[in-house]
Structure 1
Amino acid sequence: MSTGSPRRASPAAHEQASATSVARAKQSGVEAPEAREVVDAAMTLIHRLDPLTVREWPLKGPEQGRARRTGTVAPVVQHSLAQRHVFPRMVRFADIDSQGHVNNVRFLDYLEDARLGMLYVDRQKAGDTPFKGLVVSRHEIDYKRPLGFRAEPVRVETWVTDLRAVRFTLEYEIRDDEGLYVTARSVLAAYDVEREAPRRLTADERSYLRRFISD
């Protein structure tokens, strides 16, 4: 486990995540500016409450041992063989920009649709409780090749690379049989909208996410 300095989201990434979370908070009845204050406070508390390990807060010697004994440091759950969630996404005419390919911002919609399919729709269809109360704290995306308008869908393949007590990381590939268009990563945190505070993932949620864990 690395004990190096933690990676921080850029101001632009934080602003994007915060804006999205504010919109969702407002949908739940929390008005701005209270919504933004709630989300900003949540993001701060997540880093404090999530027993993230020495990667976020370097602990050494007796302090590290004490943290492990008291449960304040949670092991990162990883597995080498992962089941990927596959979401077929049609390329919509509205996705296309003036250069004739999917606009870079629109790819975030592809990722969101795949997350909803994985964490909400599929769970509901299976008779299980969908995930509720999640906020996105970070997005990273790399564009590999242009994707033009077409009749066939692309696949958004999603899996889990990091699972903690409060948050988890999703990795994505947007691809087809011909090649890879996008790779991306999102960090999501469990959030209790009613209490306006971070929450721990439930045992059922963690069990479901473990199906998709990969190194």
Structure 2
Amino acid sequence: MRWSDMDAYGHINNVNLVRMMEEARIASFGVPGGTGKPGNAPAVDLFSSVPDGTQTLVVEHRIRYVRPLDYRNVPADVDVWVSAVKPASFDMSYEFRDPFGGELCVKATTTLAFFSAAESRVLRIPADRREALGEFLGDPVFR
């Protein structure tokens, strides 16, 4: 958590929480193909090997604030996992916990889809990618 993530009440601001979701997703599953430069290897690389011209896009975020996530001068505890795989989209879920007491503070889900830039349309998830995503369905697998 960064000092600038805090709002006037001492909680992590809702906009910054979406950024933290992105950081947790990329740290766990890798950067989308064709973006940035190589950095630290993710725990599992599900995104960087998509075909050229394919983008991994956010379709929707859903966030439930269970209790305030107070600013601490340490990283938040975040669990990340694949919670659903559908024909043309998949969900990543997150649980943010207070790093000192371990209390659940935020439950969130991001729906993502693969998108063809050339055809300007959402793509069905290929069988091999669906299988790779399916390996991480269920309970939190990354922290």
The answer on 1:168 being equivalent to 2:78 is no
The answer on 1:157 being equivalent to 2:90 is no
Measure the CA separation in 2 of the matches of 1:128 and 1:108. Answer: 20
The answer on 1:94 being equivalent to 2:9 is no
Match of 1:180 in 2: 104
Q: Match for 2:60 among 138, 142, 158?
A: 138
Match of 1:114 in 2: 24
Match of 1:208 in 2: 132
- Give the secondary structure class of the aligned counterpart of 2:105: strand
Letter of the structure 2 residue corresponding to residue 189 of structure 1: A
Q: TM-score, normalised by structure 1?
A: 0.51
- Structure 1 pair 127/211, CA: closer, same or farther in 2 (3 Å)? closer
Match of 2:114 in 1: 190
Q: How does 1:43-58 map to 2 (within 5 A)?
A: none
Measure the CA separation in 1 of the matches of 2:105 and 2:116. Answer: 35
Measure the CA separation in 1 of the matches of 2:134 and 2:45. Answer: 18
Measure the CA separation in 2 of the matches of 1:128 and 1:147. Answer: 29
Measure the CA separation in 2 of the matches of 1:150 and 1:156. Answer: 14
Q: CA RMSD in A?
A: 2.5
Query: For the Cα contact (< 8 Å) 1:110–1:156, is it kept in 2?
Result: no
Query: For the Cα contact (< 8 Å) 1:144–1:180, is it kept in 2?
Result: yes
Which protein has the larger Cα radius of gyration, Structure 1 or Structure 2?
1
Query: For the Cα contact (< 8 Å) 2:29–2:47, is it kept in 1?
Result: no
Which piece of structure 1 moves more, 203-212 or 101-110? 203-212
- Give the secondary structure class of the aligned counterpart of 1:99: coil
Structure having the larger proportion of residues in helix: 1
Q: Match for 1:105 among 3, 9, 15?
A: 15
Measure the CA separation in 1 of the matches of 2:117 and 2:82. Answer: 24
Measure the CA separation in 1 of the matches of 2:75 and 2:84. Answer: 28
Identity of aligned residues (%): 32
- Structure 1 pair 144/129, CA: closer, same or farther in 2 (3 Å)? closer
- Give the secondary structure class of the aligned counterpart of 1:133: strand
How many residues matched? 124
Unaligned runs of 5+ residues in structure 2 are: none
- Give the secondary structure class of the aligned counterpart of 1:106: helix
- Give the secondary structure class of the aligned counterpart of 2:14: coil
